[in-house]
Chain A
Amino acid sequence: EAGVTQFPSHSVIEKGQTVTLRCDPISGHDNLYWYRRVMGKEIKFLLHFVKESKQDESGMPNNRFLAERTGGTYSTLKVQPAELEDSGVYFCASSQGSGGPSTDTQYFGPGTRLTVL
């Protein structure tokens, strides 16, 4: 079974440009999460999808970030326009969506390392 995949693995862009990150969850997983790790800090929650619906976007930093999950499958996270402080590693995770945290483990992708110059 394929794990969570993320594309690209690395992205280097100039301040003011737009970048789109993609996450493909494990097939059949209803829950999809985005997290971000700024260098040296903790991994922080950004938002949560259940199928195609945003369940919780309380961690999104500002309106320069837009996340979508078309048809409840893959998800994209767009940053427009990018700022220096957006640099970091963006992780995606998915879980099946049943039974709560005792049984519903989040599986993480390798992350996308975003560098904004």
Chain B
Amino acid sequence: AQSVTQLGSHVSVSEGALVLLRCNYSSSVPPYLFWYVQYPNQGLQLLLKYTSAATLVKGINGFEAEFKKSETSFHLTKPSAHMSDAAEYFCAVTYLSGTYKYIFGTGTRLKVLA
């Protein structure tokens, strides 16, 4: 069965430091991959998505992610963390079949330290 694993339910970084949030998926078919962010009291907002075009995907707010098929990974990075990046981040996968329902990881809560 397809699944998504996010390593680290909580990640802390200093302001200005590199942000790296890990996501691995298991799949026997080509995936479509997403990163969503949830700020307090808000819905999930799409950061970026991989749709089999470029393997390096740039998103909003300076985030990017690289699809690595050999590693079945889609890690999210940002060169320099900002206080406003503190939120919960979700990796999700779907496939070109069925209802396109998303399969999510358990989420990573990012804390940015001043």
A interface vs B, CB < 8 Å?
3-4, 9, 31, 33, 35, 40-45, 48, 55-56, 59, 91, 93, 95, 100-111
* 7 interchain residue pairs of minimum CB distance: A102-B51, A108-B44, A43-B104, A56-B99, A101-B32, A45-B101, A108-B43
Using CB atoms, name the residue of chain A closest to B100.
A101
Q: Which residues of A contact B52 (CB under 8 A)?
A: 102
When the two chains form their complex, are residues A42 and B107 in contact, meaning their CB atoms are under 8 A apart? yes
CB distance from B88 to the nearest CB of A (A): 10
Q: Which residues of A contact B51 (CB under 8 A)?
A: 101-103
B interface vs A, CB < 8 Å?
4, 9, 32, 36, 41-46, 49, 51-52, 90, 92, 94-96, 98-107
Provide a sorted-by-A list of 14 A–B residue pairs whose CB atoms are within 8 angstroms: A9-B41, A33-B102, A40-B106, A42-B4, A42-B103, A43-B102, A48-B99, A59-B101, A104-B100, A106-B100, A106-B102, A107-B43, A107-B46, A108-B44
Docked Cα-Cα span, A91 to B88, in Å, equals 15
Using CB atoms, name the residue of chain A closest to B36.
A108
When the two chains form their complex, are residues B46 and A33 in contact, meaning their CB atoms are under 8 A apart? no
Docked Cα-Cα span, A66 to B101, in Å, equals 19
When the two chains form their complex, are residues A110 and B95 in contact, meaning their CB atoms are under 8 A apart? no
